[in-house]
Structure 1
Amino acid sequence: MSKILVSGLINIETTVKIPNFPLEYNPIHYSFFGVNSGVSGVGMNISKALTVLGDSVNILSMVGKDFEGERAISTLRNLGVNTDFVENKLKTTPESVILYDENGRRQIHCDLKDIQDTSYDESLFKEAMNKCSTIILCNINFSRPFLKIAREQGKIVATDVHVLSNIHDEYNSDFMKYSNILFLSDENINEPVEDFVKKISEEYDNEIIVVGLGAKGALMYVKEDNFIGRFKAINTRKIVSTIGAGDSLFSSFIHYYDKTKNPYESLQKAILFASYKIGVAGAADGFATEEHLEELYKQHKNDF
């Protein structure tokens, strides 16, 4: 069992199923069993995925001094995630609304409340980091001061900067600079992905870079082997919504890489994990156990 630290957002997420995009105006839409609410956010999604896979997780985050904050902490505890490092210091708990259609497309409306202007206690971070092998620092402001600290302590630092179009992106440059393992999406990359990744590696010298390619799979760069290549997507069940696919890919890769230090097999299993996850609507639901994932890998290993 790996001990992993996750520093990231917790929010209340409402998913709404719609007929299609663009959504035609109507005073009211009836969507029976199409509207659901739960605890989510990148920090929550990653922590839950890792826990389902069998890891022990310390989650660092902040929630509001409200009912939704209590709901978030209670949900995490019921999952077996250590909540000793979740602080109740925001005015209100962040929220999001996600619209998704039958083709799996989604649109996210995120309200971070005051979390981007609130700092997290550094001493608590150091305490939480102490016994963890890998440090996941999601690209939210309160994680930023911990990047350098974790690297100086010799920890493996991993982050996902999500959508990126410029390797000198001002908001994400710190996260890119200090990450051993860097994940991102190809959604806003306006040049060959291989060229974009080479520029990132030359600028930031990351050990591993993974780019999610959606329905086309993923691309990975491994510095040690001077490798860059693509891994195709594998369909394991019908797609309901692609929300949370990136978090799932990232989580499973970290789980297996922390365990084996084999980036190639870790990415293949991560692709299967993400494929299975998008068979449900919520970003924090649909995760396969390690046992189930190993069975999927036996079935699909030769398909890559």
Structure 2
Amino acid sequence: MTRILVAGLVNIETTLKIEGFPQHYYPVTYPFDGIQSSVSGVAFNVAKALATLGDEVDLCTLLAPDMAGEQVQQAIAQIPKVKPCFELTMQDTPQSVILYDPEGRRQIHVDLKDIQQRRYSEQGFKKQLIHSDAVVACNINFARPMLELAKQAGKLIATDVHTLGNIEDEYNQQFLAMADVLFLSDEQVSGDYHQFIWQLVERYHNSVIVMGLGSNGALLYTQQANSIQHFPATTTRPVLNTIGAGDALFSCFLHYYLLESNPEKALSRAMLFASYKIGEAGAASGFLSHQQLEDFVST
């Protein structure tokens, strides 16, 4: 069984369904069944998706000993195969608010509180690292010291930098340089997508790069093939909210890649997994198990 260490943000997420963008001013609205609150955040989404697919997960994050932090702990305790590795050193647990419209467009507001000034203990991380087959290092400050430790231990490092418009981006540069498997979105890429990927390859020498293209699918670069392939988007059910689609794509790809070392198959499965996931509103809901996904492929 694959064991994956996930380090990153976990927060309380509130989603609000709106009529459309731009959002006009109203003194009050009553969006019946349009407001939902749940535990989310990139690390939570990835950990839950991986666990649903059947992987063992160590989830390392920072929380506060507050009501929101207790809600996070209770939610994670209900997910089989996820081992919580929390450090309750923050003053307040992070929160987010996401507006989304009937077309699936979304606007995300994330309040990180003081997490960018906090550190995760090196000793705690090393303890979890020993038994891990791979490390998912989300691009948040407390994960930075973990990158070198994981590299020294010979662990595969996977990261999703989400939006990236410059290959020399100062905030993400350390994650770009350390990632064996690198994911990013096309949202801030200007110009030719293929050229941007080749620039990343020349600069950072990643083994695998996946660029999500939203409704246009995804691009896959592999060092082994030394080529870029396009994978078209697929539709499995009506889209409700695209929030969390990238986390789902990333998680499922990593699950299959670690199992079979076949990046093409991994991305094909991940496209289906993410397509099914966005049929639900929450970023951490709508995940298929490994067997459910395989059954879906065979039908």
Cα deviation, residue 83, structure 1: 4.2
Query: What is the aligned-residue identity percentage?
Result: 48
CA distance in 2, matches of 1:209, 1:59: 24
Deviations 1:253-275 (A, max 9, x none): 01011111100000000000000
Letter in 1 for 2:248: S
Cα deviation, residue 94, structure 1: 0.1
Which residue of the partner structure matches residue 302 of structure 1?
Answer: none
Which residue of the partner structure matches residue 178 of structure 1?
Answer: 178
Which residue of the partner structure matches residue 245 of structure 2?
Answer: 245
What aligned pairs does 1:59-138 form with structure 2 within 5 A after superposition? 59-138=59-138
Letter in 1 for 2:257: Y
CA distance in 1, matches of 2:42, 2:269: 20
Cα deviation, residue 84, structure 1: 4.2
Q: How many residues align?
A: 299
CA distance in 1, matches of 2:259, 2:127: 23
Partner of 2:88, secondary structure, is: strand
CA distance in 1, matches of 2:81, 2:256: 19
Cα deviation, residue 80, structure 1: 2.1
Deviations 1:92-117 (A, max 9, x none): 00000000000000000000001000
Cα deviation, residue 71, structure 1: 0.9
Contact 1:182 1:208 in 2 (8 A): yes
Root mean square deviation, CA, Å = 0.8
CA distance in 2, matches of 1:268, 1:84: 30
Partner of 1:171, secondary structure, is: coil
Contact 1:4 1:132 in 2 (8 A): yes
Cα deviation, residue 81, structure 1: 4.7
Partner of 2:63, secondary structure, is: strand
Unaligned runs of 5+ in 2: none
Which residue of the partner structure matches residue 156 of structure 2?
Answer: 156
CA distance in 2, matches of 1:135, 1:23: 39
TM-score, normalising length from structure 1?
Answer: 0.97
Which residue of the partner structure matches residue 230 of structure 1?
Answer: 230
Partner of 1:85, secondary structure, is: strand
Letter in 1 for 2:289: T
Contact 1:73 1:83 in 2 (8 A): no
Cα deviation, residue 74, structure 1: 1.1
Partner of 2:38, secondary structure, is: strand
Unaligned runs of 5+ in 1: 300-304
CA distance in 2, matches of 1:234, 1:296: 13
Cα deviation, residue 82, structure 1: 3.9
Which residue of the partner structure matches residue 142 of structure 1?
Answer: 142
Deviations 1:37-58 (A, max 9, x none): 0000000000000011111100
CA distance in 1, matches of 2:296, 2:199: 34
Letter in 1 for 2:110: C
Letter in 2 for 1:170: E
Deviations 1:133-154 (A, max 9, x none): 0110000000001111111111
CA distance in 2, matches of 1:14, 1:278: 16
TM-score, normalising length from structure 2?
Answer: 0.99
Contact 1:59 1:81 in 2 (8 A): no
Deviations 1:214-241 (A, max 9, x none): 0011001001111211000000000001
Contact 1:236 1:272 in 2 (8 A): yes
CA distance in 2, matches of 1:172, 1:30: 40
What aligned pairs does 1:195-234 form with structure 2 within 5 A after superposition? 195-234=195-234
Letter in 2 for 1:20: G
Partner of 1:127, secondary structure, is: helix
CA distance in 1, matches of 2:84, 2:17: 35
CA distance in 2, matches of 1:162, 1:51: 22
Which residue of the partner structure matches residue 6 of structure 1?
Answer: 6
